[in-house]
Amino acid sequence: MFLAEVRASAEPEDESTRRILDAALEAYQEFGLRRTTMDDVARAAGIGRATLYRRFPQKGDLVTAVGLREVRRFIAAVDVEISKAPNAEERMVEGFVAVVRGLRENQLLNRLLSSEPEAVLPGLTLHGGPVIALARGYLKEKIEEDQRAGLIADFDAEPLAETLARLIHSIVLTPDGRIPTRDERQMRAFARTYLVAWLRI
Amino acid sequence: MFLAEVRASAEPEDESTRRILDAALEAYQEFGLRRTTMDDVARAAGIGRATLYRRFPQKGDLVTAVGLREVRRFIAAVDVEISKAPNAEERMVEGFVAVVRGLRENQLLNRLLSSEPEAVLPGLTLHGGPVIALARGYLKEKIEEDQRAGLIADFDAEPLAETLARLIHSIVLTPDGRIPTRDERQMRAFARTYLVAWLRI
């Protein structure tokens, strides 16, 4: 799943696809991926099995579509928080807080990590290259916007974007530690001291 | 497994324990944890089952002892590399290179990640707090040594230590990315630009 793919995707136009995705998300959050059948989703969405299979031939296609929509919504929410910040330093701080909070509060991610770790951990770790690439691509765009505006120095944004992505990657996989992820005031203080330092490379 | 515990542990004094640990490490690297029985280890070490069980009552005790020794040896090897560096900046660079290379080349870790991910991933992610704490404790000690020597500013070393630990955590779990972990010259260039910036906090 790459950033261009996420950006190119859009909220589904037709009402029945929207209902399918909503029903699937709700079922995945409540029962997990493994225990949710295509029939469960069709029933909850109030549509016929034929319609569901025409739109999503396999369970994996539906899971991917739900995941893609979650990522797109997540990015849109982070964009809003970053756009409110007045300068490059605060964009770093608010972006970090929005990403960590958004992932910590994401119901689908938390449900799957706690009840089906064997299903999601390999894709988030050993085969997690695309996840890192997605986050890196997004963060690189944000850093380069401030570079083009002359607000921060013109270093290569990609390694910094990846380092930030990896810090967040580790925090999501292993929240237990000394980076305060539950207290936003403390999270901002951490970001202001330790992450903003990077913008002065 | 905490840093004090690792430091307090020592190479086993008696020859039979050493043989047990050597045989167990070799078997784990070759066959994995799951497929290695206590009998396999006793046989390979050339000692009686009774002696093995007296020293390590359960398989888990033996696994822990082997892991503890691996961590202690790993830290000793990194200490050597760091001690050769001439200043705080180079200690950051050489420490990063030694840690990433050491983990990438660790046979036991790689064997378990590739053949028994379901056995090791949860302990390295969802329940990975002690692993992060161990790395944080070690890195904090190193940073504080340079602070006491007046070589870098007197900021709180713990958040920086944890951030570094988490960067490495993510790289070990998901090597695929744009941080060059197979080319030491490129790894040094990355560390010199992006990690050394932290010492100027």
Chain A's closest residue to B201, CA to CA, is: A197
The pLDDT value recorded for residue B23 is 97
At residue B75, the 3 state secondary structure works out as: helix
Tokens of B49: 């089952």
Query: What average pLDDT does the segment B179-185 reach?
Result: 93
- How far CA B4 is from CA of B83, B138, B159, in Å, comes to 20, 10, 19
DSSP string for residues in A160-191: HHHHHHHHHHHHHH---SSS-SS-HHHHHHHI
Query: What average pLDDT does the segment A4-10 reach?
Result: 75
Tokens of B141: 């000690």
Residues in chain B closer than 8 A to A167 (CB atoms): 163, 166-167, 170
pLDDT-derived band at A200 (thresholds 50, 70, 90) equals confident
A120 shares contact with chain B (CB less than 8 Å): no
Start-end of CATH 1.10.357 domains in chain A: 85-201
Q: What is the per-residue pLDDT across B3-50, written as a single tens digit (0 to 9) for each?
A: 777 777 777 778 999 999 999 999 999 999 999 999 999 999 999 999
pLDDT-derived band at B95 (thresholds 50, 70, 90) equals very high
Candidates 1.10.357.10, 3.40.367.20, 3.30.1360.170, 1.10.10.60; CATH matching B1-67: 1.10.10.60
Nearest CA to A98 out of A109, A112, A85 is that of: A85
The label of the residue with tokens 């950033």 reads A3
Percentage of residues in chain A having pLDDT higher than 90: 89
Chain B's closest residue to A133, CA to CA, is: B177
Q: What is the per-residue pLDDT across B105-119, written as a single tens digit (0 to 9) for each?
A: 999 999 999 999 998
B69 Cβ contact partners less than 8 Å away, ≥ 6 residues apart: B9, B11, B21, B25
- Rounded to the nearest integer, the mean pLDDT of chain A is 94
The pLDDT value recorded for residue B133 is 95
Q: Are B157 and B144 in contact (CB under 8 A)?
A: yes
Q: What is the per-residue pLDDT across B65-87, written as a single tens digit (0 to 9) for each?
A: 999 999 999 999 999 999 999 99
N-term to C-term CA, chain A? 30
A166 shares contact with chain B (CB less than 8 Å): yes
Chain A's closest residue to B155, CA to CA, is: A193
Q: What is the per-residue pLDDT across A10-53, written as a single tens digit (0 to 9) for each?
A: 677 789 999 999 999 999 999 999 999 999 999 999 999 999 99
* ipTM (interface predicted TM): 0.93
Residues in chain A closer than 8 A to B110 (CB atoms): none
CB contact under 8 A, B197 and A201: yes
- How far CA A81 is from CA of A76, A118, B24, B95, B189, in Å, comes to 9, 33, 52, 36, 33
CB contact under 8 A, B176 and A132: yes
Residue B1 has pLDDT above 70, yes or no: no
The pLDDT value recorded for residue B42 is 97
Tokens of A177: 């530690």
The pLDDT value recorded for residue A112 is 95
CB contact under 8 A, B170 and A169: yes
CATH class of B85-201: mainly alpha
Start-end of CATH 1.10.10.60 domains in chain A: 1-66
How far is the C-alpha of A60 from the C-alpha of A33, rounded, in Å?
Answer: 10
Percentage of residues in chain B having pLDDT higher than 90: 89
Torsion of CA B179, B105, B128, B178, to 10 degrees: 10
Nearest CA to B40 out of B24, B22, B57, B62 is that of: B24
- How far CA B72 is from CA of B66, B78, B94, in Å, comes to 10, 10, 18
The pLDDT value recorded for residue A111 is 96
| Beta-carbon count within 10 A of B4 CB | 9
CB contact under 8 A, B166 and A158: no
Q: What is the per-residue pLDDT across A152-198, written as a single tens digit (0 to 9) for each?
A: 999 999 999 999 999 999 999 999 999 999 999 999 999 999 999 88
B85 shares contact with chain A (CB less than 8 Å): no
Q: Are B124 and A169 in contact (CB under 8 A)?
A: no
pLDDT-derived band at A1 (thresholds 50, 70, 90) equals low
pLDDT-derived band at A73 (thresholds 50, 70, 90) equals very high
Q: What is the per-residue pLDDT across B122-138, written as a single tens digit (0 to 9) for each?
A: 999 999 999 999 999 99
Query: What average pLDDT does the segment A92-109 reach?
Result: 96
The label of the residue with tokens 């951990």 reads A121
How far is the C-alpha of A64 from the C-alpha of A62, rounded, in Å?
Answer: 5
CB contact under 8 A, A179 and B167: no
Identify which of B136, B165, B194 has the shortest CB distance to residue A159. Answer: B194
Exposed e or buried b per residue across B172-189, where buried means at least 16 C-beta atoms within 10 angstroms of its C-beta: bbbbebbbebeeeeebbe
A158 Cβ contact partners less than 8 Å away, ≥ 6 residues apart: A136, A140, B178
Residue B98 has pLDDT above 80, yes or no: yes
Residues in chain A closer than 8 A to B125 (CB atoms): 117, 121, 124-125, 173-174
Domain A1-66 has CATH 1.10.10.60: yes
How far is the C-alpha of B199 from the C-alpha of A148, rounded, in Å?
Answer: 27
